[in-house]
Structure formats: C-alpha cells, structure tokens
Amino acid sequence: MSSSLPVFDTTIQETNAWLKDIASELGPCDRHQAYLGARATLHVLRDRLAPDSAMNFAAQLPMLLRGVFTEGWRPSQTPTLERDVDAFLARIEAALPPDYPIETESLARGVLRGLSTRMDPDLLVKVLRQLPLPLRALWPQTLATL
C-alpha cells in the first residue's frame, strides 16, 4: 500500500528494515513484538540520556522510529539516574505488556545490537560514553569497550 507521499513510503520501508534487523537479533519473534521491544528500550535509553544527546541519537533513526523515540518524552525530566543494569531493565520491563515473551535483558541486548548495525559507530560511542559503565555492557562488545 502506498501513501502517495514518497517520504512516508520511504520511512515505512526503512522502519520495516530496522525492525527486521531487531527481530533477527531477538530470535523467534514477529515484527509487532520487535516493535514493542524496540519502543520500550528506546524510551528507557532516551530518558537516560541528556536531551541533546538523545536528539543526536534520534537523528540517526528513520523518521517513523524517531517519532516513536520522542513519543511521550519529557526532556525536563531527563536524564534519569539509573546507574545499574537491573534498574534500567526494570524500566524496560515496566513498559512492556505483561505477557511479553522475551526475557528483558535478552530483549535489551537484541534491540541495541539491531540498532548498532544501522547507526553510525562514532555517534554510538559518544552516546555510550554518557552512560554509566554497567549500562554500556548491554551494547555489543565492540562498542561497549570503546
């Protein structure tokens, strides 16, 4: 189905490609589950970053995912102060439906791996350097050690 606006058609195609990559990192799941997991993870990551960094991160996303990323955002309440993995994962889990079929840490790692394959590595390193060391460990090793 075409929207008759090329910019919308393009972002839908790009978003589907990103969700396909994320779904492949999560193991057996459908696109809707990949979307829900990506949405929850992106929101918690966004809230942990300073507003300028969050927007620099969002600029790398397709337009549709950028909208998901900023949905419901309150920049004046960020960054949040989670310093450990358990608190970060608890926020992700709270944003998921109760029957979500993927374990939260596996979900977070899979979403972040999927995102990292499509984003500029230099930008991701700048974002990671703003996170506490324990949270960096959720990212792919090649980025988390930089």
Beta carbons of 46 and 69 less than 8 angstroms apart = yes
pLDDT at 39: 98
Q: How far is CA 90 from the centre of its chain?
A: 15
CB 10, CB 2: distance < 8 Å: no
pLDDT in tens, 82-127: 999 999 999 999 999 999 999 999 999 999 999 999 999 888 888 8
Instruction: Report the pLDDT value the prediction gives residue 28, as an integer from 0 to 100.
Output: 84
User: For 50-71, how does the pLDDT look when each residue is reduced to its tens digit (9 = 90+)?
Assistant: 999 999 999 999 999 999 999 9
**Phi-psi map region of 103: left, alpha, beta (phi>0 left; psi -120 to 50 alpha):** beta
Give the distance from CA 99 to its chain's centroid: 20
Does residue 2 register a pLDDT over 80?
A: no
pLDDT at 145: 61
